[in-house]
Amino acid sequence: MAFREVSVIEVREVLRAWLGGVGLRTVAQRAGVDRKTARRYVAAAEAAGVVCDGAETQLMDEVIGQVMAAVGRSAPVVTAKPGRRWKRSGSRSVSGLGGT
């Protein structure tokens, strides 16, 4: 599973449309995100104190920061697995094209 970085603009776009009364499915389509992702953004915003009937002025930088922090914690952590070391065999050169 790959990790996709969440942009502040994406979060703001989803939350502005949601505050405007647009449904989550439409919000997600407009923002180009999955419906579940839009739902996570809205849930994090509600936990930060944003109410659906309120004005867009609720989306201050502090609130967006709280949403970003909440969404960032639920993202999968991708770690690199150690690979096999390359071994030189015989008289091949480092590039593997032959020679000494």
pLDDT at 85 (0 to 100): 57
Every domain of the chain and the residues it spans: 8-73
Residues 6+ apart with CB under 8 A from 31: 10, 13, 14, 17, 38
Span 59-76, pLDDT tens digits: 888 999 899 888 875 444
Q: Are 44 and 66 in contact (CB under 8 A)?
A: yes
Q: Are 52 and 18 in contact (CB under 8 A)?
A: yes
pLDDT at 88 over 80: no
Span 19-63, pLDDT tens digits: 999 999 999 998 888 999 999 999 999 999 998 887 888 888 899
pLDDT at 92 (0 to 100): 52
pLDDT at 47 (0 to 100): 93
The model's pTM = 0.65
pLDDT at 74 (0 to 100): 47
For helices 8-19 and 24-31, angle between their N-to-C axes, nearest 10 degrees? 150
